[in-house]
């Protein structure tokens, strides 16, 4: 059977999308080929799998061209054209739903001087931008919409409020500040975790040059609602530069403001701000700061309650899932972690859902010190996913150590290290974290097995890589027992 990318695309369509695609392909504006329309009519009954044994291209060809000899090349061309049209269709749907589409409608109405239609559509689009819970880049969209209104009023020689230009500038500034702040946090995450991007960075330099407190005071004085959003950014940016109690205080204040003003954010914006505050904590919190870790758990728990429900339109990313449940385990909320795994795992991508369940059930048993049950759960996974396989190997090593199977653990650690070095599907940064762990793990095993290696040597080796090692708290706990 001929394999086609067009079927791969079509099989992802919902029934509603697939029916709309039938109308799309029949539109002369998008498709002028009657052969392609007829071809689609003949294959549409095989949706969504397109794997039926009765899908016989020779028979389909015969219906399309009764008096011609079968040519596979013609079928391949039809499938190729169908695939191109399917891509155009999904692009068109996205464009039709986008802020860019709305802006272009306004531009066209402005250029044709259709004043009433422009005003009507502007109000409709602006209201949608303010209220749509899933909209991205709200502040930038607001700036661009207001810019069109300013341009329109100037073109029509009509009046607009004196503060409209200022209002427009505020939207742009908020978008700019959020974008720069997120970039600073991302770079610090890479710097702290992977020892990259050393030295002074441009985004931080830009932030440092802005007298943000003065801007916030001005906006508050002039009653701009955006002042609250900027106040949250100000607290988070300040926290990035603080340590200890001052850091904890700044984060607590930022979280208080997020909860206070959360109704003013779209759902997508709130998702981003939760990701941002947890990233700031991850970048700066040490594993011995119990109060901060408990606050991090409360924030992630709040995140899970808000976004992982039947109204949530997206799959839960593997990184979000890991960060939430890992934090619960660190602060010893084992029952909550188990309940989260069993009730929220449905939001994971289908391809990893089952193996994540086995892996994290194994981790819960490990934290509960039931190492044999942990290994039983690990044995259930048959995942080919590189990161899941790596996590399973590392957790099995922890279990072997706790069960005092030191010889097996040493052998297994050596094999895991060699496999990791050769693995092409895992990034170098992640390799470093895991290889550092394996190195210290094997040194601890040597000491535990009676080899002549001093604790001082192991401690010194660990201090060199402490910031870039997985399961550092576990290593410290074992070093303290040698």
Annotate 353-384 with DSSP letters as a single string: HHHHHHHHHHHHHHHTT-HHHHHHHHHT----
Q: Are 346 and 381 in contact (CB under 8 A)?
A: no
Query: In this predicted model, what pLDDT tens digit does every residue of 44-86 receive, in sequence order?
Result: 988 888 876 778 888 889 999 998 998 989 989 999 999 999 9
What the block records as the tokens of 355 is: 């193996």
Query: In this predicted model, what pLDDT tens digit does every residue of 85-103 receive, in sequence order?
Result: 999 999 999 898 888 999 9
Give the position of tokens 């791969």.
8
Residue 206's Cβ-side half-sphere holds a number of Cα atoms within 13 Å equal to: 13
Confidence of residue 195 (pLDDT cuts 50, 70, 90): low
Q: Per DSSP, what are the bridge partners of residue 348?
A: 316
Residue 156 has pLDDT above 70, yes or no: no
Instruction: Report the pLDDT value the prediction gives residue 361, as an integer from 0 to 100.
Output: 97
Pairwise CA distance, residues 292 & 248, whole Å: 6
Instruction: Report the pLDDT value the prediction gives residue 398, as an integer from 0 to 100.
Output: 96
CA-derived radius of gyration, the chain: 29
Q: Are 194 and 468 in contact (CB under 8 A)?
A: yes
Confidence of residue 183 (pLDDT cuts 50, 70, 90): confident
Q: Are 398 and 471 in contact (CB under 8 A)?
A: yes
Query: In this predicted model, what pLDDT tens digit does every residue of 394-426 receive, in sequence order?
Result: 999 999 999 999 999 999 999 999 989 988 888
- Would you kindly state where each structural domain of the chain is located, as residue ranges? 5-96, 99-160, 286-383, 384-482
Instruction: Report the pLDDT value the prediction gives residue 289, as an integer from 0 to 100.
Output: 86
Q: Mean of the pLDDT values across residues 15-41?
A: 92
Confidence of residue 312 (pLDDT cuts 50, 70, 90): low
Instruction: Report the pLDDT value the prediction gives residue 162, as an integer from 0 to 100.
Output: 45
Torsion, Cα of 225, 309, 365, 434 (10° steps): -50
Query: In this predicted model, what pLDDT tens digit does every residue of 246-263 receive, in sequence order?
Result: 999 999 999 999 999 888
Pairwise CA distance, residues 72 & 77, whole Å: 9
DSSP state of 467: G
% of the chain exceeding 90 in pLDDT: 44
Give the chain's mean pLDDT.
87
Kindly report the number of other CB atoms within 10 A of residue 99's CB atom.
Answer: 20
Nearest CA to 35 out of 64, 7, 59 is that of 64
Pairwise CA distance, residues 279 & 277, whole Å: 5
State the angle between helix axes of 99-111 and 138-156 in degrees (0 to 180), rounded to the nearest 10: 0
Confidence of residue 285 (pLDDT cuts 50, 70, 90): confident
Best mean pLDDT range from 108-117, 220-229, 350-359, 370-379: 370-379
Q: Mean of the pLDDT values across residues 165-190?
A: 81
pTM (two decimals): 0.72
Q: Mean of the pLDDT values across residues 168-189?
A: 85
| Cis peptide, bond prior to residue 48, ω within 30 of zero | yes
Q: Are 192 and 281 in contact (CB under 8 A)?
A: no
Pairwise CA distance, residues 80 & 36, whole Å: 10
3-class secondary-structure state, position 316:
strand
Residue 3 has pLDDT above 70, yes or no: no
């Amino acid at each position: 059977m001929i394999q086609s990318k067009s079927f791969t695309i079509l099989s992802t369509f919902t029934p509603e999308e697939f029916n709309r695609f039938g109308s799309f392909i029949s539109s002369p504006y998008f498709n002028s080929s009657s052969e392609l329309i007829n071809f689609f009519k003949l294959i549409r009954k095989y949706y969504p799998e397109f794997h039926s044994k009765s899908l016989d291209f020779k028979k389909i060809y015969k219906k399309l061209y009764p008096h011609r000899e079968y040519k596979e090349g013609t079928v391949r061309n039809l499938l190729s054209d169908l695939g191109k049209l399917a891509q155009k269709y999904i692009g068109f749907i996205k464009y039709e739903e986008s802020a860019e589409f709305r802006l272009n409608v306004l531009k066209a109405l402005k250029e044709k001087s259709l004043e009433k239609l422009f005003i009507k559509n502007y109000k409709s689009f602006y209201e949608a931008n303010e209220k749509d819970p899933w909209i991205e880049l709200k502040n930038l969209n607001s700036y661009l919409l207001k810019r069109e209104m300013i341009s329109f009023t100037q073109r029509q020689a009509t009046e607009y409020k004196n503060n409209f230009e200022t209002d427009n500038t505020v939207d742009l500034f908020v978008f700019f500040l959020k974008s720069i702040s997120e970039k600073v946090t991302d770079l610090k995450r890479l710097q702290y975790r992977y020892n990259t991007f050393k030295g002074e960075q441009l985004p931080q330099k830009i932030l440092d040059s802005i007298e943000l407190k003065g801007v916030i005071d001005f906006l508050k004085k002039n009653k701009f609602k955006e002042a609250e959003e900027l106040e949250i950014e100000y607290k988070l940016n300040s926290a990035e530069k603080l340590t200890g109690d001052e850091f904890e205080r700044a984060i607590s204040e930022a979280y208080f403001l997020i909860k206070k003003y959360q109704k003013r954010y779209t759902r997508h914006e709130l998702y981003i701000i939760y990701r941002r505050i947890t990233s700031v904590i991850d970048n700066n919190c040490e594993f011995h700061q119990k109060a901060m870790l408990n606050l991090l758990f409360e924030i992630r728990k709040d995140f899970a309650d808000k976004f992982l429900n039947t109204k949530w339109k997206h799959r839960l990313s593997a990184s979000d899932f890991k960060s939430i449940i890992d934090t619960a385990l660190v602060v010893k909320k084992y029952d909550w972690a188990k309940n989260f795994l069993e009730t929220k795992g449905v939001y994971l991508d289908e391809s990893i859902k089952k193996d994540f369940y086995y892996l994290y059930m194994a981790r819960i048993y490990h934290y509960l010190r039931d190492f044999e049950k942990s290994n039983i759960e690990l044995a259930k996974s048959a995942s080919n996913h590189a990161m899941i396989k790596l996590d399973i190997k590392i957790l099995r090593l922890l279990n072997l150590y706790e069960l005092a199977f030191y010889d097996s653990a040493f052998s297994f650690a050596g094999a895991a290290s060699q496999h990791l070095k050769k693995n092409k599907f895992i990034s170098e940064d992640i390799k470093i974290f895991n290889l550092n762990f394996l190195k210290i793990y094997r040194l601890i095993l040597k000491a535990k097995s009676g080899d002549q290696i001093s604790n001082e040597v192991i401690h010194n080796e660990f201090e060199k890589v402490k910031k870039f090692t997985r399961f550092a708290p576990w290593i410290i706990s074992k070093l303290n027992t040698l």
